[in-house]
Structure formats: C-alpha cells, structure tokens
Chain A
Amino acid sequence: MQHDHVLTAKQFSRADIETVLDRAAAFDARREGVPPDGSEHDGSDAEAGVSDRHAETLLGLLFFEPSTRTRMSFETAIKRLGGDVVDMGSVESSSVKKGETLADTVRVIEGYADALVLRHPSQGAAKMASEYVDVPVINAGDGAGHHPTQTLLDLYTIREHAGLDDLTIGIMGDLKYGRTVHSLAQALTRFDATQHFVSPESLALPPDVRYDLDEAGTSVHSHTDLESVLPDLDVLYVTRIQRERFPDENEYRAIADAYGIDLETLERAKDELSIMHPLPRVDEIDPAIDDTDHAAYFDQAHSGIPVRMALLDLLL
C-alpha cells in the first residue's frame, strides 16, 4: 500500500483494502492466540515483530470535535503496536480557541508526532492539513465529508459476516450528512456490490457522492422505504438520523420511527442478514435485535482496533 496520507476511502484500490483487512485479520487472530498459519504461540503482538518497529512512534491526536470512541480506538491501536500518543486535548483548552488556523496548528504539532490523526468539523480539513505537513495525515472525520478508517472497519466486518463478493447491501438513514455512508458507498464501488440506499427524500445521498458512484459505474438503487428491498439484503447498514436536521419535533419523530428497525421488521429478512451501525445508536435499532445472529454492530465496533493497527502498521 503506497499512500502518504489517508484522506478519503476513494483513494484505496481493492488491493489496498484487502492488504489492510488481511493485516487486521492477522492482528485479530493473534489476539485470540490463533496465528494465521495455525501454529502455537503466546498470542502477543510482540511476536509479529511490530512492537520494536513502532516503539518510538508517536501519534498526534487532533480532535476538533468531540469523539471519545474514535480517539480511544486510535490510541489503543498505536499502544498495542508499542507506540504512544500526544493529544491536543479539547479545543476549549487549546490555541485554536484563541483563533489559530488549522494550517498553523498542524505545522506546530507535526514537530511533536510521527503522524497526525485529525477530526475537524469542516469538509476538506484533512486534505488541507496534508498540504501543510510532511508527516502522514489520517482523516478521522471531516464534517459531512469522509471517515475512511471507519470504512475500513466496516469493510472488515462485512467481509467477516457476509463476504465482499456478490454483496447486496442496504444503507439506511441519514445518507446526506452521514460521512460514514459516503466513504462506505465509495469504497464498495471497488467490489462487486449492489447498493440500495434507503432514506427520506430530504436525506438522500448528496450529488457529489452520487456522481462518484455513477462514475464508478456501480449499481445504485434508491428507495424511500426498506420494505421492498429488505428480503434481498445480505447486510443492512443503519445510521442515525439526527434530531437537529429537522426543525419540527413531530416530523423528526415520524422519520426516525419510519427508519428504525425491530424484530418485527426483520421477519421478512434473510436469516443470514447482518445488521451494522457505526454507533452510537439512539433508537434506530431495537435492543431486542442485539441477542439475534443478525447483530453485527458490536463486532463492528471492536474491529476498529485491529483495523487501525493494520493501517498504522502499513502507513508508518
């Protein structure tokens, strides 16, 4: 994998994605004490020879938006590789509060760290940051733009649960502002996937993502309700519809109810249907589904560690 920065899911070829997922699977197997070659060993990452290599590695964490989960996941991943983090801390306590530009902030922190992990509310922030520094920049979410590392862990989960070949996937909820959706949809064009998008008209895919899917010649179908397409799906990727997108509470309730799922919804689904969600969920997925074989979302959350370990290991 030859990349200086990780900015969008679009930059990855199919081979890139498979390289990361294979490496992640090896880390995963190692943690479970089962090396890919089936031999016996003590289950530590040290055995892979990665600890030494990353012992001096410092990952700079720059989170301009709150995100406990993604931040912890990156921190855990680099520590498991033997490295450590330097964390900018919250925006409230930093120079940004005093009006410093992002271009200045990254040029300063570049001097402290071997790579920067950036979450920022503005679209294109990671791309701009990458033009100002020499160390790798990893986009951990830029507004409604991209979230490529989430996509890699989503793909990892899909591969484990349903396989990436001949996949029929439904992606439901807030497709307009959902950056995890944008990145996933673009990455899936690298595979032979049929994508069904389920959302209210007002939250449909933005034209620029639609443009990329059309350019890729991928098979795209849009629906306003799940019912007709549910029986065909191997994976249903559910996202949260945010209250603040709607001026009116009643309108929000009606939409949120229409795009939530429970056990009754799933009666028409395949037995093998895997349900995913980038989490946190509010009430899009009834907790009664958690105990069924359909639920893949906690697995999905856990795969953030091996996938980010793999990505960092390949990048640094």
Chain B
Amino acid sequence: MSDDSHQLRVSKIKNGTVIDHVRGGQALNVLAILGIDGSGDEAVSVGMNVPSDRMGRKDIVKVEGRELSQDEVDVLSLIAPDATINIVRAYDVIGKHRVERPTEVVGVLSCPNANCITTGDEPVASRFAVLGDGVRCAYCETLIREGFADHIDVE
C-alpha cells in the first residue's frame, strides 16, 4: 500500500506540523524559513523528491512539537505555493490548510537593500508587497524574485 511505503520514508509525528506538497527541492528552504538548522531540539523529518500523484515529485517536512504561525505560513507560500499545512495533535490531523499567497508580508523578510530606510534604526517594520513572481519592498521598491529564504527575518 502506498501509505505504508510513505511511512517508511517519513515517520508519523505526535504533535506538530506536517508541511506537505512542497515543491521538489524546496525542503531545505522551508527549514530555513522555519529557522531550523539542527541546533534546536525539534525532531524533524524531511522527505525529498517523494513521488506524488499531484506534483510528480514533492518534498515533505514534519516538525515535532511546533505549530506554524501565520507569518511563517505567509512566507512559506512564497517558495511552496502548493503546500498543505497539517497541524497534528495526538497523532490526529486537527487542521489542514492550503497556504494562501498574502498580498503583503510584514516584518518577516528583511530588505536586501542596505540603503533602505527599513534596514536602519527606524522603528518601522519591513513590508513587502507580494507580486506574481516575487516580492517588492514597500519602502525602497527593491524586488526579490528568488532566494527568499536568505531574507527571512523570523525570530
């Protein structure tokens, strides 16, 4: 059964988040967005290039003991627009969300333009408009079209 073979790859989690239907090759960027680099104590399982009926190949990320915030889901949508977010409690999926592209992301990405007013000591939060193929700083108008994970500013 496909479910069994699937479980061989990525084990079930008790409490936490399963990010499924991530575009193949983006799992490490998902981890970067979540600030997971192995130095913390979360148990993380990653499946890469798992066969998928819908997507051909997909990545899947399971994070034990952590439920994603809306900010994190917003930014995930930039690199994993087809992802489904499953919130798991006591082995049961209690919430299932498709990520939705927000019209803007606030305080999540930091502007790559060193001359941007948001990168100095001002009290203002970064703000990016989400475009069809990237994001754009609402202050200096710099475009980011790839490498979003490099600009993540989530605590």
Contact = CB atoms under 8 A, between A and B. Distances in A.
A122 B116 contact: yes
Contacts of A124: 116-118, 137-141
B103 interface: no
A290 to B, nearest CB: 34
B113 interface: yes
Nearest to A123: B140
B139 A127 contact: yes
**Of listed B122, B139, B141, residue having the most chain A CB within 10 A:** B141
Given A131-B124, A207-B143, A208-B142, A102 B117 contact: yes
B115 interface: yes
B56 interface: no
Contact of A102 (B115, B122, B136, B142): B122
Nearest to A212: B141
5 contacts: A102-B122, A103-B124, A122-B115, A123-B142, A211-B143
Contact of B117 (A123, A207, A208): A123
A144 interface: yes
B38 interface: no
Contact of B115 (A99, A103, A144): A144
Interface in A97-146: 99, 101-103, 120-125, 127-128, 131, 142-145
B31 to A, nearest CB: 28
Nearest to A182: B141
Contact of A208 (B118, B122, B123, B136): B136
Nearest to B136: A208
Contacts of A102: 117, 122
Interface in A80-106: 99, 101-103
Nearest to B140: A123
Contacts of A103: 122-124
Nearest to B113: A123
Contacts of A207: 143
Interface of A: 99, 101-103, 120-125, 127-128, 131, 142-145, 207-208, 211
B95 interface: no
Contacts of A128: 117-118, 122, 124, 139
A101 B123 contact: yes
Given A145-B141, A208-B143, A125 B124 contact: no
Interface in B100-155: 113, 115-118, 120-124, 136-143
B143 A123 contact: no
Contacts of B122: 101-103, 128
Contact of B138 (A99, A120, A127): A127
A208 B142 CA distance: 6
A101 B117 CA distance: 11
Contact of A123 (B115, B123, B124, B136): B115
A123 B116 contact: yes
Contacts of B121: 99, 101
Nearest to B123: A103
B34 to A, nearest CB: 28
Nearest to A101: B122
A121 B117 CA distance: 9
Contacts of A123: 113, 115-117, 139-142
B132 to A, nearest CB: 10
Contacts of B143: 207-208, 211
Contacts of B136: 208, 211
A128 B121 CA distance: 12
A123 B141 CA distance: 9
Nearest to A121: B115
A120 B121 CA distance: 14
A207 B136 CA distance: 11
Contacts of B118: 124, 128
A122 B120 contact: yes
Nearest to A125: B117
A123 B124 CA distance: 13
Contacts of B116: 122-124
A103 to B, nearest CB: 5
Nearest to A209: B141
Contacts of B120: 122
A208 B136 CA distance: 8
